Amino acid sequence: MRGETDFSGSTRNNMKSWLFSIGVNLFQSTVVKVAVMIEAKQQPQKRPVPSQDFQRQLRELGLVPERLWWGPMTLGPKKCQFLIAEIESCPPKRLLEVGSGTSTAVFAALADKYEFSVLSLENHEKSIRYVQSILEELPCSKRATIQKCNIVRRTYPGGKKYRCYDADLERTGGQFDFVFIDGPMESLVGRNGVLPLIIPYLSEDHRIYLDDVNRTEKLCIEEWKRHFPNLIFERCPAWVGRIKV
């Protein structure tokens, strides 16, 4: 009876996680669609436009700038340029991206140039298809792997719950020395669970970058400092934060 009860509880939890993940995907698709419509009607002039120098830089990396999306809920050109500079100043060996998008294609192109690998975690099927459509037939596609994830509940040692990806980082092999966090979606899931997920797989000389620190600092950094007292945080240009644990 105990075994049956445990199995039943595990099944229910898995079902809840699966249903929640479906809901997040549907909500994410709706939010992106609405954001694009609002931008097109009210603020089309505010969409970030890549400069000529940046477009040239992308072409030199083997990308096609016209196929890259810079609209709502994606990495802007200024942030992208900042991250390119950080990578080129000291190319990593293995890069982990949490939340796929335009940045995945840029990281893959850089990985092809500097000979490192990219693993990107994503729950949103449309985002995955978008990245795959950019990378198809490009030589850099072999450098990037996208792992489709669901959303699950986890707990800190003290019992506080959080949500995160159910990513299987154990089987990917090796440690990551560069991490970029731009997911999961903040409004429903939050990024609180990313650091507990990735810490066992960080190299000693790791660099972690958190997007949108103007919004996520109170939501993530303060919580992480309570659970990881050795955490070091600094603000960087373009609303990006750099973390060391």
Digit-coded pLDDT (tens) for 122-140: 998 888 999 999 999 899 9
194: domain CATH number? 3.40.50.150
Collapsed DSSP state (helix, strand, coil) of residue 26: helix
pLDDT at 39: 53
Asked if residue 96 has pLDDT above 80, the reply is yes
Identify the domain containing residue 234 by its residue range: 2-244
Q: What is the pTM of this model?
A: 0.85
Digit-coded pLDDT (tens) for 154-172: 998 888 888 899 999 998 8
- Name the domain count of the chain: 1
Q: How confident is the model at residue 3 (pLDDT cuts 50, 70, 90)?
A: very low
With a pLDDT cut of 70, the percent of the chain lying above it is 80
- The C-alpha R_g of the chain, in whole angstroms, comes to 18
pLDDT at 194: 95
**Chain centre to alpha carbon of residue 158:** 26
Q: What integer best gives the mean pLDDT of the chain?
A: 85
For 86, the enclosing helix (H) or strand (E) is helix 77-89
State how far the Cα of 169 lies from the Cα of 132, in Å rounded to an integer. 21
Residue 130 CB partners (closer than 8 Å, separation 6+)? 69, 101
Reference 61, options 102, 122, 119, 121; nearest CA is 102
Q: Residues 212-233: what's their mean pLDDT?
A: 87
SS (H, E, C) 176-216: EEEEEECCCCCCCCCCCCHHHHHHHHEEEEEEEEEECHHHH
Angle between helices 102-114 and 77-89 (to 10 degrees): 20
